[in-house]
Amino acid sequence: MYKFLKRIINILSHLIFRVKIYGMENIIEEGPAIICGNHLHAFDSVILVGRVKRKINFIAKAELFKKSAFMRFVEKPFGLIRVDKEKKQDIEALKKSLNVLKNNEILGIFPEGTRNGLAKNVEVKTGVAYFALKSKVQVIPIGIKGNFKPFSKIVYNIGKPLTFNEYYNKKIEKEDLEKVTNIIMDNIIKLTNV
């Protein structure tokens, strides 16, 4: 089912958009990692899931599953993780995300927590930094450009994996999470401006 859906996504994305992906070699071939980028459109993660060879388990807002039959349909095969933004801390989503990394898979997160968060100047979440430090995994930043209108060009710039070795063997402090988050977001912003 997963491979079949990937093929369908690739066919549709080829027909609807002009997708260019640079830096695909930066996605590690094995082992756990976090992929994170700016969030422009509902399809930006879908296209990425279709084009990347390895499975990406994206975190998605729980409300999307109420509104979209498509999201409910692909939830299990794509390994989507529902997160309830109404809760201060969604423990179930937290456990599932950590399990993805523990199982040497790739976790996908949009740190802005909403579409066009950078443009809206929203406060970026520290979730990516927390998962990276807690699980001691690399973070692969991605800069996404495009308006996602039919037949328009969409560009994905995939950056080199970031490691945070200096934080791995110490207690995770709030200021460490903020520092790491800033480093990750700086890389994402640079990649959107390439």
| Residue 51, SS3 per DSSP | helix
Supply the range of the domain harboring residue 73.
2-192
CB 64 within 8 A of CB 71: yes
Split into its structural domains, the chain has a count of 1
Q: Name the residue type at position 182.
A: N
Residue 75 burial class via C-beta count within 10 angstroms: exposed 0-12, middle 13-18, buried 19 and up:
middle
User: Cα separations (Å) of 31 from 17, 18, 96, 156?
Assistant: 31, 30, 17, 22
* Average pLDDT estimate for 99-110: 96
Taking 3-state DSSP, the helix, strand and coil percentages for the chain, each rounded to the nearest 5, stand at 45, 20, 35
pLDDT digits (tens, 9 = 90+) for 6-64: 888 889 888 999 999 999 999 999 999 999 999 888 888 889 999 999 999 999 887 77
Q: For 63-66, which contacts have Cβ atoms below 8 Å and span 24 or more sequence positions?
A: none
pLDDT(136) > 70: yes
pTM: 0.90
Q: Name the residue type at position 159.
A: G
| Domain harbouring 160, CATH code | 3.40.1130.10
* Average pLDDT estimate for 93-117: 86
C-alpha–C-alpha distance, residues 8 and 16, integer Å? 12
| Residue 35: predicted pLDDT | 97
pLDDT digits (tens, 9 = 90+) for 171-180: 999 999 999 9
pLDDT(117) > 60: no
| Residue 119: predicted pLDDT | 54
The runs of H, that is alpha helices, within the chain are 2-16, 43-51, 62-67, 69-74, 91-102, 117-120, 127-135, 165-168, 174-192
- The region of weakest confidence among 14-18, 67-71, 108-112 is 67-71
| β-bridge mates for residue 144, sequence order | 156
C-alpha–C-alpha distance, residues 132 and 163, integer Å? 8
